[in-house]
Copies of this chain bind each other. A is one copy, B any other.
Amino acid sequence: AMAMPAIAQTAPSIKWRLTSGFPKSLDTIYGGAEVLAKRVKELTGGKFQIQVFAAGELVPGGGAAFDAVQAGTVECCHTCSYYSFGKEPTFAIGTALPFGMDFRQTNAWLYYGNGQKLLDEFYANYGVQSFPGGNTGVQMGGWYRKEIKTLADINGLKFRVAGLAGKVWAKLGAVPQQIPGGDIYPSLEKGTIDAAEWVGPYDDEKLGFYKVAKNYYYPGWWEPGPVIHFFVAKKEWDKLPPEYKAAFEAAAAEANVNMMAEYDHKNPAALSRLLGNDVKVRKFSPEILDAARKAAFEVYAEESAKSPAFKKISEDYFKYAKVQNAWFSVAEASMAQYLHAAK
C-alpha cells in the first residue's frame, strides 16, 4: 500500500482574497494576478484558492490595495509600491526609480543582490512582505498635445504624472497633475492637461490618447523597468504550510517572467497600429534627458535627507545599477544596436 505523504494528512483548505491595484481593462497587468491564482490552485490540487478582485471591487486601486493588505482587509494584493509614495518615499524604489534599472537588472538586484532583503526589511514596518510578480519593461514617455523640443517647452506643462516622478518633472518646470486613469482622456481632449503618461503602446492604445495628442515620446525615463509586486500580510504568510509558500513563490516568479513576455508580445503590434494612426513617435532630446537625470538625483538627495530608509536602499540600488550598466554596455548593447539597425 502507498504511504500517505505528510502533506495529504495536513493540507488545509485555504481561501485568500487578492485585490489588484488595476482594473480588468489593463488586461496584461491585471492578468498577472490571475496567472498566480490559477497556478497556485493547480499546484495545491485546489486546496489553496486565491480569489482575485479588480481595483474598485473591494477597495480602490493603486496604493489602496497595499493599504488593504496592511489593514488585514485582504490577505494579499498585486500592485506597484510607488502608489504609496505619499506615505514614505521608499515605496518608490520597489517599483522603479527614474534613470534606474531595467527588467533584467532589477531582477538581478532583487533575486541575487540586496534588493529583496532591503525592501522586505522596509515593508516589514507595514506587516507586509513582497514577491516580484511582473514588469512592463521600459515604458513610453507619454502623449503630448504639442512637441516638447527644449526645456522651455516643459515650463508650465500640465502633465499627468504622479509620485516621485512628478517631483522630478516639477523640477523641470512642469506642473504634475494627479488624475485617475479614466479621467485622462477627456482632460487631454479638452486641454485641461497638456500631456499624460500611462504605460506603453498596448495599454495606451486602449485609452485612445492617440486621438487627442499625437506626439508620443520615448523613453519613459522615470520607469525603466517597473515591477508589479505581490504583497502578502506577514501574519497570513506565516500561517501557510511550506508547500503553499512554495506554490506562491514559484507562481510569483512565473508571473514575473510571464508578464514581461506578454507585454513584449503585445507592444510591437500596438505600436505598429498607432503609427498607422498618424502618431508621431519622438525621442526626448539629450538636453531634456540630461536635465531630467540631474533633477532626479536632486530629488534622491532631498528624499534621502528625509528618510534614512530611502537613502540606504536607493544608494544600494544605484551602486548596483552602475555595475550592471558597465556590463550591459558590452555584449547586450552592441548586439541589440546591431540587430535593431539591420535591414
Contacts and interface: CB of A to CB of B under 8 A. Distances in A.
Given A104-B103, A247-B43, A339 B325 contact: yes
A30 B313 CA distance: 32
Given A7-B45, A219-B334, A250-B250, 4 more contacts: A111-B258, A137-B332, A138-B336, A289-B338
Contact of A200 (B8, B105, B261, B331): B331
Contact of A242 (B42, B110, B242, B335): B42
A159 B325 CA distance: 30
Interface string A227-249: 00000000000000011001100
Given A111-B261, A327-B271, A102 B42 contact: no
A272 B331 contact: no
Contacts of A254: 250, 253-254
A213 to B, nearest CB: 17
Interface residues of A, number: 88
Interface in A2-45: 2-9, 11-13, 39, 42-45
9 contacts: A108-B262, A111-B261, A138-B335, A219-B334, A224-B339, A253-B253, A268-B326, A271-B326, A325-B339
